[in-house]
Chains A and B, each alone.
Chain A
C-alpha cells in the first residue's frame, strides 16, 4: 500500500494505492467515497474493499475529495464541480500508476453520483459500480436535513434549507447545496461506461426507474439487490462504522468477473 498526496501541488489530495497482491493485474479500480457522515462511516468498508480487490489482482486507488479527510481544503469551499474534477484527477493518477488500460470505478452513495457525473463528461470507464447511489440530489439533501434535525440535540437544527452553513456537523455552503440539489442520475445521458452495476441494499423506486432508463441505452445494466442493511438514514447509526460483507464481496465479484 502506498499513501501519498497527488494532483495539483497547490491543493493536493490524499490518495492510497493498493497494488495487486500477485504483483500483476490487468484491471484497475478507482474507489469513490460517499460524503459527509457517510465518508467516516464507510472508511473501514472501503479499506476492506480495497483489500479484497487487491487480492483479486486489481490495482486499487482510493482518495479523499477536496475539503474531506486528509486532503487539502476546507469543507466550506467544496463543490460538486470540484469533487467531480477530483474523481477525474484520481482516475488519471490510477491510470499512470497502474499502467492499465481498463479502469473501473466504484462509488458509494454520493460518491456514485460523482463517479457517474465524471463518466458522463470526461472518462471512459470499463465497469461503473454504483453502491446504493444517490439518484436524486434533492432527495439526498432532504434525507440529510431530516437526519440532521432528528439529532438536533447535537447538531444545529435546520429550518431554512437555503441558508445552511453546517450539515451533519460538517461545513456546508450554498453553492454545494445547490449543486447537490441539481444532481439527478436519471436525467444524465451519455455515460461512457461499458457496463453499469447497481448494487443496492434497499429497494427503491428510483433504482427501478434507473433500470428502466437503461433499457433504452446501449449500455449493459445489472441490478443486484442484496439482503444486507446499510441503514444510511438511521439516526442511531449516523456515526457508526458500517460493517458490511455481502456488498463488498458482490462488488469484488462483479469487478473481478466472478459475477454469477
Chain B
C-alpha cells in the first residue's frame, strides 16, 4: 500500500490523499471519502484513514479529500450553492481518479453531511455504483415515536422534566427558557429531501444498479432513527434486498467514538464491499 498527496479541481485548489493498493484490480471501483461536517478528510477519530488502508489491502484504490473551504482545500470565489459545490467537488475527484488511474466506477462513503452530499451526487453521476450512507436521510415513523416515548412512560426523569417544564411555564419561572419539545433539538438542521422524493430517487438508483448500504447509529436515536426496522417502515413497500442493505448500530455514537464500534463499522463496510465487488469480480474472472 502506498499513499500520495494529490491536488486537483479548478486551480488545483482541492487536496486529497490517494491510497493505492499493492495489487490494483482495474475492475474494482475506487472508493471516495470526504468531510463529515467540518472535520477534515481524516474523518472522526481517523476513521477514514483506517478505512482507506483496510480497503487498499482488499485491492481498492481509495481517495479521501477535502471539499472546497474545508480541511486543507481552498474556497474559490464562485457564486454557487454549498450543496451544488459539494457535488461538483465529488465529480472533480472522480474525474481526477478516472484520468490518473483509469477508474470508471466509484463507491461513495459519507457520514452525516457526507451522506447528504453523496445521495444527490449519485443521482447526477452514473459512474457511482455504490453508496455507503452513515446516518444518511431518515424520517420519523409511528414506530419511532413509540420507541421514543414508551420507555419514558416508565421512567421518573422524563416525568420530572415534564412537570418542571410545565410548572416553569405556568408560573412564568425562567422567562427565557423555551418550552422545548421532549425530542432533542438538533444542533444544526439537516436538510433531508421530502420522504416521497427520497423514496422515488432511491427506487430509481436501485433500479439503475446502484448498491446501497445504509448504516444508522445510536447517535441519531433522539433525532430521527431509533429501531432496527425503521427503514422498512420509512419507505414501505420498498423491500430490502441484495441491492439495499440496512444496518442499525444502536450502541455506536454518531461519530463512532469507541474503537470497537469503528472496528464493527469497518468490518461491515468491508464485508459489503467484498460481497458486491470482490466476489463479483472473482465470478467474472471464473466465467
Contacts and interface: CB of A to CB of B under 8 A. Distances in A.
Contacts of B255: 239
B40 A3 contact: no
Specify which of B39, B50, B259 lies most central, judged by the most chain A CB atoms within 10 Å of its CB: B259
B5 A171 contact: no
B3 A169 contact: no
Nearest to A166: B259
Interface stretch (A39-47, A108-116, A186-194): A39-47
A8 to B, nearest CB: 14
A243 B4 CA distance: 29
A12 B3 contact: yes
Contact of B7 (A3, A170, A241): A3
Contacts, number: 59
Chain A contact-residue range equals 20 to 34
B72 A16 contact: yes
A139 B259 CA distance: 25
B46 A68 contact: yes
A12 B3 CA distance: 9
Given A3-B15, A169-B257, A169-B259, A69 B42 contact: yes
B49 interface: yes
A151 to B, nearest CB: 8
Contacts of A241: 38-39
A5 B258 contact: no
Interface string A130-144: 000000000000000
Nearest to A36: B45
Contacts of A74: 50
A25 interface: no
Interface string A1-15: 101110000001010
Contact of A154 (B39, B40, B74, B258): B258
A58 B74 CA distance: 19
Nearest to B17: A70
A69 B5 contact: no
Given A3-B5, A5-B4, A72-B3, A43 B40 contact: yes
Interface in B227-254: 253
Contacts of A69: 42, 46, 49
Nearest to A165: B259
Specify which of A43, A165, A241 lies most central, judged by the most chain B CB atoms within 10 Å of its CB: A43
Given A5-B3, A70-B3, A70-B17, A169 B71 contact: no
Contacts of A44: 38
A171 B71 CA distance: 23
A154 B15 CA distance: 31
A1 B5 CA distance: 12
Interface in B59-109: 71-72, 74
Contacts of A40: 39-40, 42, 44
Given A47-B71, A169-B44, 18 more contacts: A1-B72, A3-B5, A3-B15, A3-B72, A5-B3, A40-B44, A43-B39, A47-B72, A70-B5, A70-B17, A70-B41, A70-B42, A70-B49, A154-B253, A155-B258, A166-B258, A170-B45, A239-B255
What are the 4 tightest A-B residue pairs by CB atom distance, in nearest-first order?
A3-B5, A154-B257, A154-B253, A169-B257
